[in-house]
Amino acid sequence: MTVLSPAEQEVVAKVEAALAEVRQGGVTSIAILAIGANGFAVSTAGNQGADLNLAADSLKAKIVEVMNAQQEAMVRRAKSNIIRPRPLNG
């Protein structure tokens, strides 16, 4: 059996939760965006194109927010690792 990383385990949990909602009849359309080592795949199903489009816009905003937070964290770490000389007196 494959050992999953914490990130992969989180993906499995979210997919299982979504599938449970679908099986209960609470989902009429879906868009799936899957990212892997070899690239990405996108798939949609259902008939609510306008709602899928709105949800995609919301997803894009969340992705940009996460990317910005990651970039800010990288900058903070980089700044904390830079050795700065003391200013010369006089």
Q: Which two tokens mark 26?
A: 């609470």
CA distance 76 to 73: 5
Going by C-alpha positions, the residue among 15, 17, 18, 53 that lies closest to residue 34 is 15
Averaged pLDDT of the chain: 88
Q: Where do the structural domains in the chain lie, given as residue ranges? A: 1-47, 48-82
pLDDT given at position 45: 94
The model scores a pTM over 0.85: no
CA distance 57 to 25: 24
CA distance 30 to 45: 5
Count of C-beta atoms within a 10 Å radius of residue 44: 13
pLDDT given at position 90: 54
Q: What is the pLDDT of residues 55-81, one digit of tens each?
A: 999 999 999 999 998 888 887 777 766
CA distance 9 to 5: 6
